[in-house]
Amino acid sequence: MLPGLDAAELPADAIEVGRIADAWGIKGWFRVLPYSADPEALFSSKRWFLLPTEKGVKTFVGTASLSVKEAKTHSDSVVACAEGVLDRNAAEALRGARIFISRSSFPAAADDEYYWVDLIGLQVTNRQDEALGTVRELLSTGPQTVLVIEYVVDGKVQERMIPFVSAYVDAVDIAAKNIRVDWLADY
């Protein structure tokens, strides 16, 4: 195992939140490419779980745990340092590693704010109680986020997009796994 990494098991609630891009500086810091525009989960968690890169040279196998000392925003990315990763060579060995964090360690979302990962898989119904489909993904279009909803018609998978804004979204019930919207089925 590489310096700073300990063998670990990936938690059942692990969410992939980014990957390690490259070494940053000479003192063991590394640059992280987060998958979120607001990488609060990376900042709040002091224990990251790593899986080796899917492409290129694998410098470790299995799941590893990394004890993060500090993570902060730098320019358009995130930089971090960890216990046992003491120089540039050790940081470079982490290049490409996929970063997972236990969902239970995410900071609490504010009222009327949701983590995208919590919305994926929810059923969407409209005010007429018509099922519109299941949230497959979310897209950031700049000014707003859009729900990409998958549904089946005559055996063929279709998709519809609904802006995730209060004008169209009446309620989100994570516990009931449902999003209620003001949207007709034929839009």
Distance, in Å, from the CA atom of 30 to the CA atom of 32, rounded to the nearest integer, reads 7
**Residue of 22, 34, 33, 31 whose CA lies nearest to 89:** 22
Collapsed DSSP state (helix, strand, coil) of residue 33: strand
114 burial class (0-12, 13-18, 19+ CB within 10 angstroms)? middle
**What are the structural domains of the chain?**
5-104 (2.40.30.60), 116-181 (2.30.30.240)
- The answer on pLDDT for 93 being more than 90 is yes
Q: What are the C-alpha distances in Å from 170 to residues 106, 109, 111, 116, 131? A: 25, 18, 14, 17, 15
Task: Report the predicted TM-score, pTM, of the whole model to 2 decimal places.
Answer: 0.75
- Residue 89 phi/psi, 5° resolution? -60, -45
13-48 per-position pLDDT tens digit? 999 999 999 999 999 999 999 887 778 888 989 999
